Amino acid sequence: KAGVTQTPRYLIKTRGQQVTLSCSPISGHRSVSWYQQTPGQGLQFLFEYFSETQRNKGNFPGRFSGRQFSNSRSEMNVSTLELGDSALYLCASSLGLAGGNEQFFGPGTRLTVL
Amino acid sequence: AQSVTQPDIHITVSEGASLELRCNYSYGATPYLFWYVQSPGQGLQLLLKYFSGDTLVQGIKGFEAEFKRSQSSFNLRKPSVHWSDAAEYFCAVGAQQAGTALIFGKGTTLSVSS
């Protein structure tokens, strides 16, 4: 069974631009969660989608948004990029809701904002 | 407030020695507990999880963890560390309730000396 895939793996953008990251979950998984990982803040929860509906959202500004498609694939968008958005963005999928199920993580997208 | 604390930022252990990584949590509901490992440049891999039942859980790669409700702890142990265990380890807490996010600790970096 294929694992969670994320594209692109690396991305370099400049301040003010916007970016879209993509995540394909494991086949059959209906939940997709997104996390931001930085050396200072660790792993911070962004949001979770389940069956195309946002089920939970972390404490991030509205510049961070996401969506999930009918095939469970998910995209995350960050608008008006800031230097502080430089991070590893991890996507995770699970059969059920994230809090009570094993999550399988993708390799991440490394975003650098210049 | 819900939180996970990993008191040790960095631990160095000799190869062949035993290992214990500490995790304390603060959570209102009955917690689901997880330990994940992250190797450099990789996503997170689940080592083990506790939902209910036997408080000593076995995981992959020879790891085990013990849930102690009275101490709000879920410490990870391994009797004999291998050089390949060098990585970052994350404790996380969640619950099987809609809208519950998985909360991660800041992580403990394990170095293995020969």
Asked if residue A16 has pLDDT above 90, the reply is yes
Q: Say whether B101 and A98 touch across the interface (CB within 8 A).
A: yes
Task: Please report residues of A whose CB lies closer than 8 A to that of B101.
Answer: 33, 45, 48, 56, 58, 98-99
Tokens 């009918």, residue?
A: A70
Residue of B nearest to A93 (CA): B44
Our CA-based measurement puts residue B78 at a distance from the nearest CA of chain A, in whole angstroms, of 21
User: Rounded to whole angstroms, how far apart are CA atoms A67 and A76?
Assistant: 7
DSSP three-state, residue B5 = strand
Q: Say whether B100 and A100 touch across the interface (CB within 8 A).
A: yes
Residue B44 — pLDDT band, cuts 50, 70, 90? very high
CA distances in angstroms from B66 to A4, A38, A43, A114, listed in the order given: 29, 29, 23, 44
Q: In the 8-state DSSP scheme, what is residue B80?
A: S
Tokens 């000396």, residue?
A: B113
Our CA-based measurement puts residue A28 at a distance from the nearest CA of chain B, in whole angstroms, of 19
Residue A100 — pLDDT band, cuts 50, 70, 90? confident
Task: Please report residues of A whose CB lies closer than 8 A to that of B43.
Answer: 4, 90, 92, 105-108
Residue B99 — pLDDT band, cuts 50, 70, 90? low
Residues A88-97: tens digit of each pLDDT? 999 999 998 8
From the list A55, A58, A101, which residue is nearest B98 (CB)? Answer: A55
pLDDT at residue A2, as a whole number: 80
**Mean pLDDT score of chain B, rounded to an integer?**
92
pLDDT at residue A26, as a whole number: 96
Residues A42-66: tens digit of each pLDDT? 899 999 999 999 998 999 999 999 9
Kindly state whether A66 is in contact with chain B, defined as any CB-CB distance less than 8 angstroms. Answer: no
Kindly state whether A30 is in contact with chain B, defined as any CB-CB distance less than 8 angstroms. Answer: no
A18: burial class by Cβ within 10 Å (0-12, 13-18, 19+)?
exposed
Task: Give all strands (DSSP E) within B1-114, no chain letters.
Answer: 3-5, 10-14, 19-21, 24-26, 32-38, 44-50, 56-58, 64-68, 73-78, 87-94, 103-104, 108-113
User: Rounded to whole angstroms, how far apart are CA atoms A114 and B113?
Assistant: 37
Q: Say whether A105 and B44 touch across the interface (CB within 8 A).
A: yes
Asked if residue B98 has pLDDT above 70, the reply is no
**Mean pLDDT score of chain A, rounded to an integer?**
94
User: Rounded to whole angstroms, how far apart are CA atoms A97 and A79?
Assistant: 27
Question: DSSP for B6-30?
Answer: ---SEEEEETTS-EEE--EEE-SSP
Q: Give the mean model confidence (pLDDT) for residues B25-42.
A: 88
pLDDT at residue A93, as a whole number: 95
Residue A18 — pLDDT band, cuts 50, 70, 90? very high
Task: Please report residues of A whose CB lies closer than 8 A to that of B98.
Answer: 55, 97
Asked if residue B20 has pLDDT above 70, the reply is yes
